[in-house]
Amino acid sequence: MNDDLLLTPFHLPCGQMLRNRLCKAAMTEGVADELNRATPRHATLYRRWAEGGAGLLITGNVQVDRRYLERAGNIVIEGEQTAPQRRSLEKMATAGKTGDTRIWVQLSHAGRQTPKLIANEPVGPSAVPLQLPGGRFGCPRALTADEIREVIARFAHAATVCHQTGFDGVQVHSAHGYLLSEFLSPKVNLREDEWGGPLENRARLLLECVRAVRSATSPEFAVGVKLNSADFQQGGFAFEDCLRVIEMLNQEGLDLLEVSGGTYEQPRLLQIDGLEPVFEEKVRESTRAREAYFFKYAVEARKVARMPLMVTGGFRSRSGMNEALSSGDVDVIGLGRPLCLDANFPQKILGGEIESAPDYERDLRLGPGIFGPNSSVGLLKVANGFAKIGWYYEQIYRLADGLATDPELGVWRALMAYERTEKAKAAALITT
Ligand SMILES: Cc1cc2nc3c(=O)[nH]c(=O)nc-3n(C[C@H](O)[C@H](O)[C@H](O)COP(=O)(O)O)c2cc1C
């Protein structure tokens, strides 16, 4: 095994070179202002992450439609950009390029996973509501054919702005149950027109978005996609579908395909269980890189994929990352949560200073007592998922404020802070 694989530069089809094989995966920052513009906190955050050593940074999801956000603190790129909007994006791009790091913007449409705090009636392929307790999400309305065309144009426009403001590329978010991933799912997409039914139709929105983004930018600008290996739900987007979508994407000249999985209903992206049992097809377990819970899917994906591959989820150790790379099944290692706690984690791994990230997750669990003896287990599960995420959000805020992170932060405190901040930010949004 070549121990230096992590340090080996990687050339993307567009001609860009990544200085090593580590990528900071997309993580929503929540620090945009009341007009959903980038702020100095983004610049601080991305400078710290760029200095932290990863060859590539992918931003948290940036929305293409201000009516449908994943959370109030998202950056939005839509319509004519004002000079301050452009300047704030330029500053963020410059910060992310520190030390020859590459920075790509993750473009997304939140679809039916838009919280009620943002929109009572979100949109989706069909009027299929999320099956989650707590009333956080409204029942979506099905997009019209004209609106679907508009979504494609929005992705292309946002990519153009990213290109003009100095970012190195974009990643089209087609995973985790947001709009493009909803279209892929036969459980959520019940349409009977050219956008629903057989997989060729369900994948049309993703493919058209990728094509539109490609033709709106230049050949040197990187275009990637984040795709679910599966939704892990009975009747949902399955691994077999994923392999077929990869074959379709083979024609589109992608620079990087990131393999992930899960949705809000089944948050396997973070290895959290949803309310329903996890539905999983039989895929041969890989003996390599066991810590990376989607790696076995990447091994199979590699057999059909003609574009470079990245896999994200669970990578913590230098040996695990090197094993995955030396297998030849992936080209880039995606890292999320370890970078919320330590912006310099990649550098420490690359330099051999540490062998592995500390296991913070072990202690991130709300006790069942918190909700009283009559609380339903389902609610506790969901609350626990939100609490964990809230805990990571709080760490990102600290990084964005130039502070040290706080591994000792209590998970209950984090959940309360998360609830408070999300409400306050949503209430402060200025509608134009
Ligand atoms: C705080 C937080 C925010 C996230 N936001 C996004 C996001 O905006 N877009 C996305 O595709 N994935 C998002 N993810 C998922 C990560 O990109 C990644 O797939 C996941 O954390 C698994 O990798 P890890 O085990 O290295 O953390 C987020 C994860 C965390 C912890």
- For residue 368, pLDDT over 60 is answered with no
- For residue 273, pLDDT over 90 is answered with no
The more confident residue out of 288 and 154 is: 154
Residue bearing the CA closest to ligand 1, atom 21: 336
Q: What is the pLDDT of residue 103?
A: 98
Looking from the CA of residue 312, the nearest atom of ligand 1 is 23
Residue bearing the CA closest to ligand 1, atom 9: 26
Q: Does residue 337 line the site of ligand 1, with CB under 6 A? A: yes
pTM: 0.96
Cα separation, 126 vs 411, whole angstroms:
36
Q: Which amino acid is at 8?
A: T
Q: pLDDT digit string (tens) for 154-191?
A: 999 999 999 999 999 999 999 999 999 999 999 999 99
| Domains observed in the chain | 5-361 (3.20.20.70)
- For residue 373, pLDDT over 50 is answered with no
Q: pLDDT digit string (tens) for 243-270?
A: 999 999 999 999 999 999 999 998 888 8
- For residue 321, pLDDT over 50 is answered with yes
Q: Do residues 255 and 13 touch, judged by C-beta distance below 8 A? A: yes
Residue length of the chain: 432
Q: Does residue 289 line the site of ligand 1, with CB under 6 A? A: no
Mean pLDDT of the chain: 93
3-state helix, strand, coil in the chain (%, to 5): 40, 15, 45
Q: What percent of the chain has pLDDT over 70?
A: 95
Q: Does residue 55 line the site of ligand 1, with CB under 6 A? A: no
Among 412, 430, 401, CA closest to 30: 401
Q: Does residue 216 line the site of ligand 1, with CB under 6 A? A: no
Report how far ligand 1's centroid is from the alpha carbon of 188 (Å).
22
Q: pLDDT digit string (tens) for 15-24?
A: 999 999 999 9
Residue bearing the CA closest to ligand 1, atom 11: 26
Residue bearing the CA closest to ligand 1, atom 12: 26
- Residue 280's pLDDT band, with cuts at 50, 70 and 90, is confident
Q: What is the pLDDT of residue 125?
A: 98
Mean pLDDT of 330-356: 97
Q: What percent of the chain has pLDDT over 90?
A: 82
Q: Phi, psi at residue 147, to the nearest 5°?
A: -65, -35
- Ligand 1 pocket test target in 23, 27, 395 with most atoms within 8 Å of CB: 27
The residues near 362 (Cβ < 8 Å, ≥ 6 apart) are: none
Report how far ligand 1's centroid is from the alpha carbon of 194 (Å).
31
Q: pLDDT digit string (tens) for 192-206?
A: 999 999 999 999 999
Q: Phi, psi at residue 277, to the nearest 5°?
A: -60, 145
Mean pLDDT of 26-42: 98
Give, in degrees to the nearest 5, the angle at Cα 396 between 390 and 400.
140
Q: What is the pLDDT of residue 378?
A: 67
Q: What is the pLDDT of residue 3?
A: 60
Q: What is the pLDDT of residue 366?
A: 64
